[in-house]
């Protein structure tokens, strides 16, 4: 049995569609989303509607929380403008939908305990777990065999004290200098995880962002993966 982890779609419809198409080709039926479906790009409602239609369990991310609370404290100028833009565009139905997102998702698949959060188990929404994070701190605080996270937009896979630590990167706004959309597949049987990259129509996403009136930087960075 295999599962796919996605995160940080950030309203990038073209990237989300490309990733889900790639996952479907692998015949993977179980997909989890680790937050920030919205923010930055121009298709928050369509992206949320896909997640809803496909019944993909999703954690709440810091961008969802900011839209719900209408609080941009701590966000940079570009993220702030995107959040305020998203607040003005999100439908009531989709606002209610993101309000239903939990901080953590726990799943037991073939006796493997999997914990999923946007940030980290120590701070589910705001903690940034980069590859140099002291992962032992997390492992010592939990009883799960697999932890999957997002938020940093930088993917990694590490084994720490028998626990598989996974950051699945970003579908819609990679920041590891690779512009291709990112996701992770985890094989339950052998506890093997693999990062996958998918090319998508970046040009169309960029044009939509610029046409929407969002900051041009949010479009330009997609070409560079930063």
pLDDT the model gives residue 118: 98
pLDDT the model gives residue 111: 92
pLDDT the model gives residue 39: 98
pLDDT the model gives residue 177: 98
Average pLDDT (206-216) is 98
Say if pTM beats, i.e. exceeds, 0.85.
Answer: yes
Strands, E assignment, the chain: 2-6, 30-33, 104-109, 112-117, 146-149, 156-160, 163-167, 181-187, 192-198
Round to whole Å and give the CA distance between 6 and 37.
10
Write the pLDDT tens digit of every residue in 54-110.
Answer: 999 999 999 999 999 999 999 999 999 999 999 999 999 999 999 999 999 999 999
181 confidence band (pLDDT: 50, 70, 90): very high
116 confidence band (pLDDT: 50, 70, 90): very high
Write the pLDDT tens digit of every residue in 128-161.
Answer: 999 999 999 999 999 999 999 999 999 999 999 9
Write the pLDDT tens digit of every residue in 188-198.
Answer: 999 999 999 99
Round to whole Å and give the CA distance between 23 and 136.
31
Write the pLDDT tens digit of every residue in 31-40.
Answer: 999 999 999 9
Strand 2-6 and strand 30-33: pairing?
parallel
Which structural domains are found in the chain, ordered by start?
A: 2-224 (3.60.21.10)
């Amino acid at each position: 049995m295999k599962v796919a982890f996605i995160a940080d779609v950030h309203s990038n419809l073209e990237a989300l569609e490309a990733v889900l198409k790639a996952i479907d080709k692998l015949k993977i039926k179980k997909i989890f989303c680790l937050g920030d479906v919205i923010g930055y790009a121009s298709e928050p409602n369509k992206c949320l509607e896909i997640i809803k239609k496909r019944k993909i369990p999703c954690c709440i991310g810091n961008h969802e929380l900011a839209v719900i609370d209408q609080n941009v404290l701590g966000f940079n100028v570009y993220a702030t403008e995107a959040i305020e833009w998203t607040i003005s565009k999100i439908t009531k139905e989709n606002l209610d939908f993101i309000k239903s997102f939990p901080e953590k998702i726990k799943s037991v698949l073939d006796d493997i305990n999997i914990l999923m959060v946007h940030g980290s188990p120590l701070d589910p929404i705001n903690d940034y777990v980069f590859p140099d994070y002291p992962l032992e701190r997390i492992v010592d605080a939990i009883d799960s065999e697999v932890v999957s996270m997002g938020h940093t937009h930088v993917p990694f896979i590490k084994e720490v004290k028998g626990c598989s630590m996974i950051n699945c990167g970003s579908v819609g706004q990679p920041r590891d200098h690779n512009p291709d959309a990112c996701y992770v597949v985890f094989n339950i049987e052998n506890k093997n995880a693999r990062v996958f990259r998918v090319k998508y129509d970046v040009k169309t996403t960029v044009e939509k962002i610029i046409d929407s009136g969002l900051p041009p930087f949010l479009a330009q960075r997609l070409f560079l993966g930063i």
